[in-house]
């Protein structure tokens, strides 16, 4: 049996049984199994495809098996998902996909169910993707159920995305957005401000990177952004021969969110900046570089000590200039005391993560609408605590990696009602000024919502709020 398929199965089990993150579990499993480059690529495609298209595959499995997915043993269901992906989305020969899946079932599941796996996968392989979409449509109870199954998004997520687009007058883009969520994004890098090399010069070094079977291109909306066309990001970064931590993997939407705070207006030397919810540290690294150039101080707080350690690693290029602490962001200790005040505060609040489904496909199956009340309550409490420590004339950036209205505009509108002395600034204008290329920012609100299908970034929300002097 192919070791790549066994690794892929193990990762799906890690995600389902241990709430593991696929992007962390997969490299560890690949290393433990000592897969070569070809098998590692196969395992990666199997994992990402089976997770991304899980909703669609489960519906197809139900139709082929004439049995609800919830009534199929979870081990067998994961084997079937991997087999369905090979049959419907890869160039694997049908007989190989079926035979390997049957052997995988005998190895990791109930051997007596090997015949069931064989029969279901042979039924799936006898129809095309178009045929299966027709069968999904014919069996669906309404348009939303059909689209949710075909586009492999839970129904509540689909409706939340539609509502967010409708608020901008762009509801017709829903299909494009769902397709973007299901496309494998390119790896995006950030080249931190103040490096001895700018993004265009880094692109000129691509001949060095090509030896690592990768090409870097200075493209995308972030002025710090590079895109990796293929290959290992670690090898591409090493080929740039820069100090540790200066070049890093980071979505360009995340880069822009941090730059919106640091470049909204010219900083003054001696300003105090705070990243309140800093883990794992990508935005912190950008703010640290910007603060160093401006002569400002940066404090980074992260409630989890484990994630605080990740923040420390992320700012290693400016380790002597950043204070990293670990406290609950609602407590005064996170700020250094009740009287502490900051000129710029980033509240990158814990959220549903619905804006990063293309990079974290398992998140769409892990989140529930019942998670929202607790998250939105926490977001409001963090914002209130941050406002209490915002200096007169200070600037606060509220950021979420989610387009869900309850976590974006609703949260901001409630904050402004609770604190009528605050005023919202034009984050859209700031981002347009900061971005390398024009952004397609829709709607008529002052906040900015980025989208994968329009901007090539995660669906990052940014609002800028000022306390008048």
Binding residues for S-adenosyl-L-methionine: 277-283, 302, 328, 348
> Is the CB of residue 258 less than 8 Å from the CB of residue 281?
no
**Strands, E, within 338-460: which ranges?**
342-348, 390-400, 423-424, 448-449
Instruction: Provide the β-strand partners of residue 398.
Output: 347, 463
Residue 418 token pair: 């609770």
> Is the CB of residue 405 less than 8 Å from the CB of residue 167?
yes
Q: Residues annotated as binding site?
A: 277-283, 302, 328, 348
Buried/exposed code over 87-125 (b: 16+ C-beta within 10 A; e: otherwise): bbbeebeeeebbebbbbbbbebbeeebbebbbebbeebb
The residues that are catalytic are 401
Residue 153 token pair: 């998004």
Rounded distance between C-alpha atoms, residue 462 and residue 75, angstroms:
41
SS3 30: helix
For the chain, how big is the Rg over CA atoms in Å?
23
Q: How many CB atoms lie within 10 A of CB 28?
A: 14
> Is the CB of residue 166 less than 8 Å from the CB of residue 341?
no
């Amino acid at each position: 049996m192919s070791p790549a398929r066994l690794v892929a199965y193990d990762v799906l089990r890690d995600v389902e049984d241990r709430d593991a993150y696929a992007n962390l579990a997969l490299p560890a499993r690949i290393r433990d199994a000592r897969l070569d480059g070809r098998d590692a690529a196969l395992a990666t495609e199997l994992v990402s495809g089976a997770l991304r298209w899980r909703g669609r595959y489960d519906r197809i499995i139900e139709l082929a098996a004439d049995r609800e997915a919830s009534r199929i043993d979870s081990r067998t269901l994961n084997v079937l998902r991997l087999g369905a992906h090979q049959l419907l989305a890869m160039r694997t020969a049908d007989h190989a996909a079926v035979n390997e899946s049957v052997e995988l079932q005998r190895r990791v599941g109930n051997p007596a169910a090997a015949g069931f796996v064989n029969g279901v996968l042979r039924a799936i392989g006898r129809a095309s993707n178009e045929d299966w979409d027709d069968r999904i449509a014919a069996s669906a109870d309404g348009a939303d159920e059909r689209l949710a199954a075909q586009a492999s998004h839970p129904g509540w997520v689909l409706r939340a995305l539609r509502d967010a687009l409708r608020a901008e007058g762009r509801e017709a883009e829903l299909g494009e957005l769902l397709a973007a969520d299901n496309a494998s994004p390119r790896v995006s890098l950030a080249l931190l401000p103040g490096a001895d090399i700018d993004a265009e010069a880094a692109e000129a070094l691509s001949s060095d990177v090509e030896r690592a079977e990768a090409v870097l291109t200075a493209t995308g909306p972030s002025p710090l952004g590079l895109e990796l066309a293929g290959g290992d990001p670690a090898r591409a970064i090493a080929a740039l021969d820069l100090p540790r931590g200066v070049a890093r993997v980071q979505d360009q939407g995340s880069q822009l969110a941090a730059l919106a705070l640091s470049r909204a207006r010219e900083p003054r030397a001696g300003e105090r900046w705070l990243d309140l919810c800093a883990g794992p540290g990508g935005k912190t690294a950008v703010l640290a570089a910007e603060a160093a150039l401006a002569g400002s101080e940066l404090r980074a707080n992260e409630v989890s000590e484990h994630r605080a350690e990740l923040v420390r690693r992320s700012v290693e290029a400016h380790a002597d200039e950043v204070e990293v602490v670990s406290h609950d962001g609602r407590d005064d200790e996170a700020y250094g005391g009740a009287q502490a005040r900051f000129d710029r505060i980033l509240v990158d609040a814990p959220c549903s993560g619905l804006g990063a489904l293309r990079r974290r496909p398992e998140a769409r199956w892990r989140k529930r609408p019942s998670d929202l009340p607790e998250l939105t309550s926490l977001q409001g409490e963090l914002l209130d605590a941050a406002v209490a420590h915002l200096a007169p004339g200070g600037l606060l950036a509220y950021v979420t990696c989610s387009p869900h209205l309850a976590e974006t505009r609703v949260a901001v509108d409630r904050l402004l009602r609770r604190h009528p002395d605050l005023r919202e600034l034009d984050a859209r204008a700031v981002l347009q000024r900061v971005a390398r290329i024009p952004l397609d920012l829709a709607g008529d609100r002052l906040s900015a919502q980025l989208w994968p299908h329009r901007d090539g970034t995660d669906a990052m929300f940014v609002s800028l709020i000022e306390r008048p002097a």
